[in-house]
Structure 1
Amino acid sequence: MNDMQEKTSPSPEPADPAGGPEAAGPGGEAPVKPVIPAAAAKRANASAIGMIIALVVSIAAFLPIILMNPLPKTEGYRPDIDVAAVSRNATDVAGFTPAAPETGGTFRPNYARWEAGTGSGVPTWEVGFLTPKDSFISLVQTSKANPTWLLQQTRNAPVTGSRNAGGQEWEIRDTGKGEKSLVLDYRGTTVILSGAAQLDEFATLADAVVKSMESSPAVTVSPSGAPAP
């Protein structure tokens, strides 16, 4: 009887799943975090590395082609300025024929205009030139120059010498910081060339300015039309 009781004794009751330590109850126990299998993680890393290698290979393949075929260089926008035409249009209001130097296209004008001089009281003819050496020289001409205006135009630079151009002696004013000016009083007007160009380019443009001034009548009347004193 004892043997039978031992054989038929009930086995231990299984733990209640709802009350076990592994269950996520309403008490706020931390949920089980999903784990990516090692094989899947390895495949993901291998795919990312493969994409990077493919990108590097593609760049290396196309880089020599790009280097052998550089982008074309552009000269930028070049405005078509007819200085002579603008000069003729400004003659009546200026009271003189503004200088329109002819340089054979070596000096490219990028503006030409008549300024009434409302602020300074000095009306001026203004032209900007790009030089053959990619520098810049501005031309300013007036029949109403005064010492204050002259200092403003030349940045208060002192007189450092002179330069003959077009058979005339131009006064050189140099700031010592790259900017310089050539000044000429001739045939009733004052002309100032200013910029950071080299003196040989200044001289070339100054020669053309003198020729232009000599081809036009000297100033005999004021801009208002009354006889000059």
Structure 2
Amino acid sequence: MADNRNASLGDMLRSILVIGVLVLGLAAVGYWFQVKPDNTVEAVDYVTAAEEARGDAAFDVLAPSSLPNGWKATTVRYESGDRGQWHLGVLTDQDEYIGLEQTGIGTQRAIQRFAPKTEATGKATVGGQSWQVRQSSRGENTLVREDGDTTIIVTGTADLATIKDYAETLRAG
């Protein structure tokens, strides 16, 4: 009887080993032949949107005249009115996000809405304008300035130098 038990235990171990090898083989084949999709974020026509917003806005709508190679605009939104808002979101060639926000809701509310959990860390002159520099513990970098009744925020996951370079390209028309 001892032989039957050992044979059954041996058969079970061999079966587990065979099944394990098959599972690992299938996993390897699946990994080898997996399809990795390209970045599926679609680009939007921000130039036309900016032109249309400029015809209606109570403030100077900012946008770059063009984006660097490999960058793409991914979101654009305009809300009219005295407290209107202009938003332009872009992805850099390194897949870092930068968002431009222009709004008439006041600076503190704009910071709370578009750059929450950031702390003021200094000032910077960018494009001849003085900006407040803000950073978050998550590595987000933000520039903030007021232009009359409009607050302008440039924020994102890109490094501060890239955000400054982007802010320098912003034009009102």
User: TM-score, with normalisation over the residues of structure 2?
Assistant: 0.70
Match of residue 53 from structure 2: 90
Counterpart of 2:44 in structure 1 is 81
Are 2:69 and 2:93, in contact at CA under 8 Å, matched by a contact in 1? no
Structure 2 partner of 1:109: 73
More strand by share: 2
Superposition map of 1:136-215 within 5 A: 136-142=97-103, 144=104, 146-152=106-112, 153-155=114-116, 159-175=120-136, 178-185=139-146, 189-209=150-170, 212-213=171-172
Higher relative contact order (Cα pairs below 8 Å, separated by 6+ residues): 2
Task: Give the number of the structure whose alpha-carbon radius of gyration is greater.
Answer: 1
Q: Percent identity?
A: 24
How many residues in Structure 1 have an aligned counterpart in Structure 2?
171
**Preserved CA contact (<8 Å) 1:90 1:97:** no
**Residues 153-193 of structure 1, C-alpha deviation per residue, up to 9 Å, x if partnerless?**
44485543222333433222345553442123459854211
Is the aligned partner of 1:55 residue 2:15?
Answer: no
Q: Residue 123 of structure 2 aligns to a residue in which SS?
A: strand
Aligned residues: CA RMSD: 3.7
